[in-house]
Structure 1
């Protein structure tokens, strides 16, 4: 079942926790890939110095963040890796959740081909890696996640999970915001990008 709009229309911290154990799906001409979300980070907009929308307005690359929850915010880092974020909350509250790692579920051979590796553990263990494996790029910017191409769904089998909160990764520039415990992982999942200290 595809997650509905209401799921996303809450603050980013709440959504980031609840995304763990959900499945990201991308249907492309090459095939369908699916990954279980095992690691997320919340970015709380105007009250979060680590957020792209901290001092922005509804223009440029952050424009989609000002929509209602349930859209894809895609950006490029280091001029070569795409990162996928999910817009959350209500209109004009620019909060997002960064997807940091997936556990591959379906379309694994296609993921391996896209990533150029046979190592399952390494396919989606980071935001750039998961976008490459899932075939996500700038063309997916602004896509409605309540549609039928790029979307999130409930896992076929719901296993109980324990959520671990920790500091977000690589945001040392963000003052006191670097210490907020807004990174969430499934405890002991081997597919996370960086082990929780």
Structure 2
């Protein structure tokens, strides 16, 4: 595992699909009351702003979505089904409202619970609504770079659970590491 310092904001201030690809193999790090939890990101989904009917930002700027419209490199955390938290990382320049959903982690350190699926990932990492708007350049909750010497193959598939979004449902905007046993679904 490489050094556990955060990637710079410029990492997120790029095309969302490029960021999604580059998040695969990177490490999500969270200090939870002195226990540092680390998971390797193995599955993500890209959300491409206001035109993407599967993205929360497609409904425009609201109190809930204001983080998405802000600068890149911040966590967008929300509650679904009244019981699960999901975490996205905001990408691209301010105003674009793009993000990448973190879907699954491979346990690296202090992850005792399942982390396959966005809700389980957040539960295992101790992420909840208090982390919405959190700066991912902070020392206690961040994404560390992947090991550039580690080769991996990326698989692209349609996103999960977005059938309501018309043509956007079939777009191959879910990415995962081929052969990784910790992905949520093939």
Class of the TM-score when normalised by the shorter of the 2 chains:
over 0.9
Measured in 2, the distance between the counterparts of 1:155 and 1:89 equals 20
Measured in 1, the distance between the counterparts of 2:165 and 2:106 equals 29
Tell me the CA shift for residue 55 of structure 1.
2.3
Which residue number in structure 2 is paired with residue 103 of structure 1? 106
Tell me the secondary structure at the aligned position of residue 67 of structure 2. helix
- Establish whether residue 54 from structure 1 lines up as the match of residue 45 from structure 2: no
Which residue number in structure 2 is paired with residue 142 of structure 1? 133
Q: 2:70 aligns with which of 67, 72, 76?
A: 67
Tell me the secondary structure at the aligned position of residue 76 of structure 1. strand
Runs of 4+ in 1 over 6 A off after TM superposition: none
Which residue number in structure 1 is paired with residue 19 of structure 2? 15
Which residue number in structure 2 is paired with residue 78 of structure 1? 81
Residues matched between the structures, number: 182
Normalised TM-score (structure 1): 0.89
Q: CA RMSD in A?
A: 1.2
- Establish whether residue 163 from structure 1 lines up as the match of residue 154 from structure 2: yes
Q: Greater helix share, 1 or 2?
A: 1
Tell me the CA shift for residue 76 of structure 1.
0.5
Which residue number in structure 2 is paired with residue 118 of structure 1? none
Gaps of 5+ in 2: none
